[in-house]
Amino acid sequence: MALQILLQLIVTGLAWGSVYALIALGFVLIFKATDIFNFAQPELMMLGAYLSFTLITALKLPFLPAFLVTLVLMTVISSLLEMMVIRPLVGEPVLAVIMVTLGLANVIRGMTGLIWGYEELQFPKPFSAQPIMLFGAAINQAEIFTILATALLLVVFFIFFKYSRAGLSMRATAEDTSTAFLMGINVKRVFTASWAIASVVATIAGVLLATFTYLEPIMGHAGLKALPALILGGMDSVVGAILGGLIIGVAENLAGFYLEQYLGGGINEITAYVIVLIVMMVRPYGLFGTKEIERV
């Protein structure tokens, strides 16, 4: 019985961790390409989930076509946001850009509440409610699909950055923007592409999260758990973002079950930050982040 409970806790933790990982991955993609930390990433996740919900419920589209249309819509929306809101700020102080992304997050959240309301909405379930039995443990099908989808995305992004021309251009721009520009790389296009890809990843995370939770305008707050995952894995590491999210998801789920009776309620809410504090004392640049050495 204890082994079955442990297995269920780990799988649920991996599912939540997969959502954190995908949001953290979006942060990394934009940061690596543009040196901008986009605080609106969780709200893009939330907006994508709401758009998919509308396509399914209002337009009566099946789940998969609605999901694909949502990805296209979010690609267009995020590209326009980058060109109209972020690009004019190139060269401005970092703090100014950060404040703009925070403002953008609040605007998206507020508009979502005005359009869809502030009550919780039940996302149409694309998976059967019948759990899958794994070694005697009942596992939610949506959680299994979330974990598998994240694993598939990790493989896709590895191939994309390693072998595709666009991926190589993004890596070159992240390494040195000026040199990439001199080599003929369209840096502006790379910036737009990074926002588009990050929004696609965020949308996937939002839809997957909605399948085993619910919709509400503040669901982007769940995405803030991606920040400890991002710091844990390393600000500039794609692999670190994925593994950091999975570690945080499993750790907080296990802590919530096994430690709450000893340390009180809410221990799972601080578990991520305790882990990050411990790791930062040993590796300030994260588990997989690039160590920067400054010569004086």
Q: Write the DSSP assignment of 226-265 as a string of letters.
A: HHHHHHHH-TT-HHHHHHHHHHHHHHHHHHHHHTHHHH-T
Does this model's pTM top 0.85? yes
Bridge partners of residue 132, in order along the sequence = 139
> Is residue 57 very low, low, confident or very high in pLDDT (cuts 50, 70, 90)?
very high
Cα–Cα nearest to 222, from 248, 194, 261: 248
Comparing 45 with 169, which gets the higher pLDDT? 45
Q: To the nearest whole percent, how much of the chain has pLDDT over 90?
A: 20
Alpha-carbon span 31 to 52, nearest angstrom: 26
CA angle 55, 114, 142 (to 5 degrees): 40
Comparing 29 with 61, which gets the higher pLDDT? 61
Alpha-carbon span 104 to 44, nearest angstrom: 10
293 φψ region: left (φ > 0), alpha (ψ -120 to 50), beta (else): beta
> Is residue 1 very low, low, confident or very high in pLDDT (cuts 50, 70, 90)?
low
Residue pointed to by tokens 């794994």: 134
Alpha-carbon span 149 to 151, nearest angstrom: 5
By CB atoms closer than 10 A (0-12, 13-18, 19+), residue 175 is exposed
Residue 76 has pLDDT above 80, yes or no: yes
Strand ranges in 128-237 using DSSP code E only, listed in sequence order? 132-134, 137-139
CATH class given for the domain over 7-117+127-282: mainly alpha
